[in-house]
A and B are shown apart, each in its own frame.
Chain A
């Protein structure tokens, strides 16, 4: 009977000892989570106040970021959205740190991978922001230059260049984030190559007559020069 009771109690004891060893880790995780959430809230509040103080929303309205947000059906203030992004990033980092405190090898490995991925996320975000500003600047420059030169389709040209640049930037972002890099590279090459070939064909086919005229006029002028020489010699 005693053996039977020991048989039941031994696993329970073992479980208790394991839990006893694990409890400080769990407690550490809970503390990290609580502190992290509080910290994230404070950072969000401070960030939104700071962005409001430097009139970030107004700047964003003029630079086109607000329009970009609206296109994604985001109708809050840009500063509030940035505050939310910062909050959730901190929450994710807190969660990862908390999980790391559990000292479970598999989770530790995952957390390690996540933290090594963070620099990629930051560089992708930088590419996206700088690229978007640059593409807007370039398309506006093209629009002004083309319109000033009397080009009839200035707006369409500027929009086409803007779209192409955005495609290029998104490809770079996805490549940076290592999201199906092979497919992205192939798709980008096909799309960009296709556009270039289409333009080349359109220009080539459309310019056959013009090219013929240019070549013919070149040939005629050469012939005339040769004939002139003969006459002069005579």
Chain B
């Protein structure tokens, strides 16, 4: 059982006692009459072939309160797309699948590109953005929930708890982020434990109290891929298309809304998904790439809020971070020991070294070009440039589904 401590400047909704799933779902069914809920699933076809997606489909088949499900299918051929449609058929909720590599959706991307709207490279960020656009185009939902499709420990309680704070008319939240413990026989979630938290606290140590840093530090799992928000937020927020997706999204939430309307919710006691390799020698893939993108996103957001970055600051940051990370490492070692968990000190130290390298790389890239922004324009801007884009997107998805 968890504690009830409120972390930082946002609201934390803990899992206290044993909340009834039936009650949660019953409430959500009532809420959905006033605030219809859409679920966005950014998926790769390979996830349908693994253990994750079949489990998710099985659970979603029991959910009654969802208004629509929008699945964005990536890295799939036409045959894979048809197969995915078949696999999603047991779900009673209306499911619309966006075939990201399909002829029509490719043309939608082409239309955006020729009108000067850079939607970036293929990835979760772009998929999520397109799905928001489709939900907005249909105009049938007021709340959008999103979770990854590689969760092997998925249960529908996760979805219910994620949707509840935003769907409930009594709770005035516009954004809710999920959190969970990433523990099996060892502690996972290296990027959050050993990069995000020590880095944020190191920058705080150097530049002093900062609203955005306090906001980031308030999240128990800022890199969690599960969140829920109002459709209004999906319309105004820009999202990054690289690995800075989670941090960049939080930056946009912080920029556009008060922290009092933001919460985090405990959505699962155990959470297990696809693991990434550390890849210390290749900044183009694995956790190394992820770490570089996250650092760049943090630097860029802080710079846009008036923080001055210089060579000296970055040099100090590397040293401060290393000290913070080493201290953190010792804390986790103690935590693992008392709980009888495996703890590979060497592997953890290697991760810290890799992340230090990533910070240095991100700092260099940032100093070379602080204006480089991988943010996808928000939907308001897109509609302003191409008034019929929603119609086109709807037609593309509907024609693909025929």
Instruction: Give the B-binding residues of A (Cβ under 8 A).
Output: 55, 57-58, 61-62, 64, 66-67, 70-71, 73, 75-77
If A58-B115, A75-B104 touch, does A64 touch B388 (CB 8 Å cutoff)? yes
Query: Nearest Cβ distance between residue A21 and chain B, in whole angstroms?
Result: 52
| CA gap between A73 and B396 in the complex, in Å | 9
If A70-B396, A73-B399, A75-B104 touch, does A61 touch B391 (CB 8 Å cutoff)? no
Query: Nearest Cβ distance between residue A63 and chain B, in whole angstroms?
Result: 9
| B386 proximal to A (CB < 8 A) | yes
Q: Are B114 and A61 in contact (CB under 8 A)?
A: yes
Task: Give chain A's interface secondary structure class.
Answer: helix
Interface residues of B in 299-314 (CB under 8 A from A): none
Fill in one digit per residue for B370-402: 1 if any A CB lies within 8 Å of its CB, else 0: 000000000000000111100110011001000
| CA gap between A225 and B385 in the complex, in Å | 62
Query: Nearest Cβ distance between residue B391 and chain A, in whole angstroms?
Result: 5
CB closest chain-B residue, reference A76: B107
Q: Are B387 and A62 in contact (CB under 8 A)?
A: yes
| B78 proximal to A (CB < 8 A) | no
| CA gap between A52 and B317 in the complex, in Å | 49
Partner of B386, one of A55, A62, A71, A76: A62
Q: List 30 A-B contacts (CB under 8 A).
A: A55-B114, A57-B111, A57-B114, A58-B114, A58-B115, A61-B111, A61-B114, A61-B115, A61-B386, A62-B115, A62-B385, A62-B386, A62-B387, A64-B387, A64-B388, A66-B388, A67-B388, A67-B391, A67-B392, A70-B391, A70-B392, A70-B395, A70-B396, A71-B395, A75-B104, A75-B107, A75-B396, A76-B107, A77-B107, A77-B114
Q: Are A66 and B392 in contact (CB under 8 A)?
A: yes
CB closest chain-A residue, reference B112: A61
How many residues of chain B are within 8 Å of chain A by beta carbon?
Answer: 16
Query: Nearest Cβ distance between residue A62 and chain B, in whole angstroms?
Result: 7
Nearest first, the 7 closest Cβ-Cβ pairs linking A and B are A67-B388, A75-B107, A70-B395, A61-B386, A75-B104, A70-B392, A58-B115
| CA gap between A57 and B385 in the complex, in Å | 13
Q: Which residues of A contact B388 (CB under 8 A)?
A: 61, 64, 66-67
Interface residues of B in 111-164 (CB under 8 A from A): 111, 114-115
